[in-house]
Amino acid sequence: MVGGNAIRGTRVGAGPSGESERGESAPRRRVSYWCANGHESRPSFAMDAEVPEEWDCPRCGLPGGQDAKNPPAAPRTEPYKTHLAYVKERRSDADGEAILAEALERLRQRRQI
């Protein structure tokens, strides 16, 4: 078959290749970050960009710091709390009994009418 598709072998949206057509890239620097598991990641940043203090490890997801001997600690995850657990934090057992007694009294009064 002669002719065919003229863009065979390229992907849709592919632009020109080579730095001459794209323009020059900004000067970059690599910064090392270490997580608590000892993994090192080295993202690159533009020379004039502000470098963050922490960077998430791409291997394990823990936060990484720039000091290899003292990496940041893993964030502490709070366990799931039920609605009842939150109520118990705000009210004592005596408060709960008083509220229950008041609610029962109102219910008894409505049934008598």
83 carries a ligand binding annotation: no
Sheet order of strands, 33-34 included? 40-41, 33-34, 63-65, 54-56
Instruction: Give the containing element (helix H, strand E) for 99.
Output: helix 93-112
| Residue 20 among known ligand-binding residues | no
Q: Which residues are annotated as a binding site for Zn(2+)?
A: 35, 39, 57, 60
Residue ranges of the binding site: 35, 39, 57, 60
